[in-house]
């Protein structure tokens, strides 16, 4: 079978994402062939493309989640049939591979989808949902009364974290880059929004919390934002550094002085990775089912743009420029 793919031959700018065609073999005994109907675009795809997070080999196919229809079933597979709708997320053998019309995936990584959820909703939400489950229940158990600061609160992950944390009873503050994005974050449940281009984040958050700071910061921006995140965390609170969208060109993570954490301040800094979390099959399936249940309960990531598969470079350009809210999807 010929599969349409988007290939990357070396780390670099978005223009390096080029259409190609590859021969896809029949599925292995314990695998499925999936014809994609919707493919999620995530900021980690930009990290992979830029070389910040290395991929195992080139040419590479990016993409860490997809939704589609089973077109072939391996001889040893039970529980899946041709024509069934499924989703998958994460890395396979340590590599991405979602920007393609068809893909073979291990059956154990396939997630059967309920009829009540459409392909676009799942493709926009699955990886982010597993990430939110990890951040709000495993990295730190967020409970009623906690105050949580979510950076980039109008982005795909941000709007999901706002909704999920609110359902756990948290008070949520979001940071955004514009008035339009502030409206998005507020519309999804944020109690307060800080416009980081117009306001000093540290001063604004401390003012909103009566000088106390927050219990938990989820920081996917990094760079110059990380010191501000640490500065607004109250004693025995935590910062989860989950990316560096504001500093993609820097291959080194920020150097943090331990004195910024304690003992006087007594705060924790975590650097959790959702792909390490999903490498454990039990975590993966538990997180996926939690994400699907949240979707069924009405928690959604709005789709901010849909691109043809061959226009993946344009999707990356828009994402890096901060021009988007919600999630971006590719359509084969």
Task: Quick: pLDDT tens for 153-211.
Answer: 998 899 999 999 999 999 999 999 899 999 999 999 999 999 999 999 999 999 999 99
Which CATH number is 2-125+275-330 given? 3.90.180.10
Evaluate if residue 17 carries a pLDDT over 80: yes
Backbone region of residue 24 per phi and psi (left: phi > 0; alpha: psi in -120 to 50; beta: other values):
beta
Q: Do the Cβ atoms of 100 and 6 come closer than 8 Å?
A: yes
Q: Which long-range contacts (CB under 8 A, 24 or more apart) does 162-167 make?
A: 162/188, 162/189, 162/190, 163/188, 163/189, 163/294, 163/299, 163/300, 164/132, 164/133, 164/136, 164/294, 164/299, 165/136, 167/294, 167/297, 167/299
Is pLDDT above 90 for 265? no
Cβ proximity of 255 and 269 under 8 Å: no
pLDDT at 119 over 80: yes
Residue ranges of the chain that CATH labels 3.40.50.720? 141-271
State the chain's mean pLDDT as an integer: 93
Q: How far apart are CA 128 and CA 98, in angstroms?
A: 15
Distance separating alpha carbons of residues 113 and 136, to the nearest angstrom: 23
Q: How far is CA 187 from the centre of its chain?
A: 20
For range 265-275, the mean pLDDT = 93
Cβ(190)–Cβ(172) under 8 Å? yes
The average pLDDT across 206-225 equals 92
pTM of the model: 0.92
Looking at the structure, give the CATH architecture of the domain made up of residues 141-271. Answer: 3-Layer(aba) Sandwich (3.40)
Give the pLDDT of residue 221: 83
Q: Report the pLDDT value the prediction gives residue 249, as an integer from 0 to 100.
A: 54
Q: What local confidence, expressed as pLDDT, does residue 263 receive?
A: 85
DSSP-based three-state secondary structure for 134 = helix
Q: Which regions of the chain carry the CATH code 3.90.180.10?
A: 2-125+275-330
Mean pLDDT within 48-71: 94
State pLDDT tens for residues 279-318: 999 999 999 999 999 999 999 898 989 999 999 999 999 9
pLDDT at 36 over 70: yes
Residue entry with tokens 């502030």:
182
pLDDT at 254: 61
Categorize the per-residue pLDDT at 233 as very low, low, confident or very high, splitting at 50, 70 and 90.
very high
């Amino acid at each position: 079978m010929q599969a349409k793919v988007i290939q990357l031959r070396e780390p670099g700018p978005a223009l390096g994402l080029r259409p190609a065609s590859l021969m896809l073999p029949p599925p292995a005994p314990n695998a499925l062939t999936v014809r994609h109907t919707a493919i999620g675009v995530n900021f980690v795809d930009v990290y992979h493309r830029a070389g910040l997070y290395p991929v195992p080999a080139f040419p590479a196919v990016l993409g860490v989640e997809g939704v589609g229809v089973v077109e072939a079933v391996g001889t040893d597979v039970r529980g899946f049939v041709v024509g069934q709708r499924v989703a998958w997320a994460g890395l396979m053998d340590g590599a991405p591979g979602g920007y393609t019309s068809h893909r073979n995936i291990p059956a154990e990584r396939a997630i059967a989808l309920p009829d009540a959820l459409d392909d676009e909703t799942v493709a926009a939400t699955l990886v982010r949902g597993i990430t939110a489950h990890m951040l709000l229940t495993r990295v730190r158990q967020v409970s009623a009364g906690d105050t949580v600061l979510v950076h980039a609160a109008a982005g795909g992950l941000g709007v999901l974290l706002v909704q999920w944390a609110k359902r756990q009873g948290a008070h949520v503050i979001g940071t955004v880059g514009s008035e339009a994005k502030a409206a998005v974050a507020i519309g999804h449940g944020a109690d307060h929004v800080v416009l980081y281009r117009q306001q000093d984040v540290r001063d604004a958050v401390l003012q909103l919390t009566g000088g106390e700071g927050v219990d938990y910061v989820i920081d996917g921006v990094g760079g110059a934002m990380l010191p501000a995140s640490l500065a607004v965390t109250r004693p025995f609170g935590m910062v989860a550094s989950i990316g560096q969208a504001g500093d993609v060109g820097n291959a080194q993570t920020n150097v943090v002085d331990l004195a910024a954490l304690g003992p006087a301040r007594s705060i924790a800094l975590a650097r959790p990775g959702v792909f390490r979390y999903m490498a454990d099959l039990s975590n993966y399936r538990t997180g996926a089912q939690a994400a699907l249940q949240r979707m069924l309960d009405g928690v959604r990531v709005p789709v901010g743009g849909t691109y043809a598969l061959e226009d993946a470079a344009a999707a990356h350009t828009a994402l890096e420029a901060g021009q988007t809210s919600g999630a971006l999807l590719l359509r084969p």
